[in-house]
């Protein structure tokens, strides 16, 4: 009982000592709070930099007169690249190309799936969910990303089977990507597609600018991406770049649920069984491109000087053919190949609403686009790849 007055007295002394500190902190807080409204007015005073850490500079909060800037390449030897959806048809190939150009550690593949061993050991890989804004933002900040290539998407036929998921991934995920890219001054590439056009679009050829009324959630989401990217460019100065890809053909990846995937599947089936059943009509003409041309076009448009770009979304094209024409070209090398047709009405309706041929004259004029592979070169390259793979399998 004797000790209680001493304890109370010590507490009182501590209170008296602490009060000036609290008053000082309150004064500083009031000064910072008063300074915050002028943070984006153009003032470059150093004391205000303390407040920037607490307000999260983002288009979700940004004032209408704000502006963004990309990191110039004078500030860094090479861009630091993040590829979302990196385990899809294009991500692994683009990472390989960019790593040759910029160095292995400057290109980070990301996905929500577990990578195969060869991909995991070929260069940096990280888990990234585009629907998790905080996770994505941390990756960009912690790795000092300057280029973002956004490949995460559900393709046409898969998207029609699960519209809710396609809407979430293709639209909500895109919004996260746009906000983070603008917030951190990234150069952003988002691919578009022949699926961004619809039955009322001119089909042969289809120009860069025309009516776009797609009939699939995939196409709708890609038109949305084009317009949102261009809006962010004009409103916030985001360095947004977009290419409308034709159907992409590659040997080292399996078909992923797209309407043009028959042009990949035919090679797998021809080598495996000598028989192929096509789910489109034999006279269905669509624009196509070999993957090496596609990846090179992506790199070239990302490296193109800003003042050379007359628009932010370009068509690119290489060739245009039908299932029948592809089969005939392949049968020149494999005359025993049997091709039959069992038309999928859903995929056929999608294909019938898409362009038959792309007009890519603006890409060729503005930044020098030029394809390398036509149909004969495509078929020979694919057969060479599968022939080498078959010989290796037999040797093993």
Checking DSSP bridges between strand 81-84 and strand 147-150, what pairing results, if any? parallel
Residue 319 pLDDT exceeds 90:
yes
**pLDDT of 96 over the 70 cut:** yes
Does 248 fall in a domain? Answer: yes
For 21-78, the DSSP string reads: HHHHHHHHHHHHHHHGGGTTTT---GGGHHHHTTT---TTT--TT----PPPTTSSSS
Q: What pLDDT digit, counting tens, does each position of 116-169 carry?
A: 999 999 999 999 999 999 999 999 999 999 999 999 999 888 898 999 999 999
Token pair, residue 173, equals: 């995920």
Tokens of residue 209, six digits:
């600018």
pLDDT at 317 over 50: yes
Q: What's the rounded mean pLDDT across residues 354-373?
A: 97
> Domain range spanning residue 281?
153-395
Percentage above 90 pLDDT, the chain = 72
> What's the mean per-residue pLDDT of the chain?
85
b/e string for 320-330 if b means 16 or more Cβ within 10 A?
bbbbbebbbeb
The DSSP H or E segment spanning 278 is strand 275-278
Does a structural domain hold residue 269?
Answer: yes
* Structural domain includes residue 241: yes
Q: Catalytic residue at 218?
A: yes
Average pLDDT over residues 296-306: 98
Total domains, the chain: 1
pTM of the model: 0.79
Cβ proximity of 105 and 124 under 8 Å: yes
Radius of gyration of the chain (CA): 27
Residue 204 inside a domain? The answer is yes
What pLDDT shows up at residue 68? 43
Is 292 contained in some domain? yes
Q: Out of 133, 151, 218, 314, pick the active-site residue.
A: 218
Domain assignment present for 343: yes
CATH number at residue 289: 3.40.50.720
Contact predicate 313/207, CB 8 Å: no
Instruction: Supply the pLDDT for residue 389.
Output: 64
In a domain, 201, yes or no: yes
Q: Give pLDDT, residue 386.
A: 86
Residue 135, domain member (yes or no): no
Count of other CB atoms within 10 angstroms of residue 316: 23
């Amino acid at each position: 009982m004797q000790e209680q007055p001493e304890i109370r007295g010590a507490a009182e002394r501590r209170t008296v000592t602490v009060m000036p500190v609290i008053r000082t902190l309150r004064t500083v807080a009031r000064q910072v709070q008063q300074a915050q409204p002028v943070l984006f007015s153009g003032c470059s005073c150093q004391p205000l930099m303390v407040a920037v850490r607490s307000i999260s500079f983002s288009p979700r909060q940004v004032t209408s007169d704000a502006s963004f800037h990309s990191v110039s390449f004078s500030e860094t030897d090479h861009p630091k690249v993040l590829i979302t959806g990196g385990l899809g048809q294009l991500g692994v190939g683009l990472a390989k190309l960019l790593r040759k150009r910029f160095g292995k550690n400057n290109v980070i593949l990301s996905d929500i799936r577990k990578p195969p061993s060869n991909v995991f050991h070929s260069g940096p890989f990280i888990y990234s969910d585009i629907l998790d804004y905080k996770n994505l933002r941390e990756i960009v900040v912690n790795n000092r990303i300057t280029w973002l290539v956004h490949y995460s998407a559900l393709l046409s036929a898969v998207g029609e089977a699960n519209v809710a998921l396609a809407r979430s991934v293709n639209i909500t995920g895109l919004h996260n990507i746009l906000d983070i890219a603008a917030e951190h001054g990234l150069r952003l590439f988002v691919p578009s597609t022949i699926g961004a056009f619809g039955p009322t679009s001119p089909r042969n050829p289809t120009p860069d600018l025309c009516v776009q009324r797609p009939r699939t959630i995939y196409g709708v989401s890609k038109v949305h991406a084009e317009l949102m990217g261009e809006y962010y460019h004009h409103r916030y100065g985001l360095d947004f770049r977009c290419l409308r890809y034709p159907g992409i053909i590659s040997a080292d990846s399996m078909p992923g649920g797209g309407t043009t995937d028959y042009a990949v599947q035919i090679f797998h089936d021809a080598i495996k069984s000598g028989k192929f059943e096509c789910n489109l009509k034999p006279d269905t003409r669509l624009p196509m491109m070999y993957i090496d041309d596609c990846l090179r076009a992506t790199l070239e448009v990302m490296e193109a000087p800003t003042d050379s770009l007359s628009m932010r979304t370009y068509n690119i094209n290489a060739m245009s053919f039908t299932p029948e024409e592809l089969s005939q070209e392949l049968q020149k090398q494999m005359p025993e190949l049997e091709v039959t047709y069992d038309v999928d009405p859903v995929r056929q309706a999608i294909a019938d609403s898409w362009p038959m041929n792309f007009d890519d004259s603006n890409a060729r004029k503005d930044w020098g686009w030029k394809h390398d592979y036509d149909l004969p070169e495509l078929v020979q390259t694919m057969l060479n790849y599968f022939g080498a793979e078959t010989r290796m399998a037999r040797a093993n």
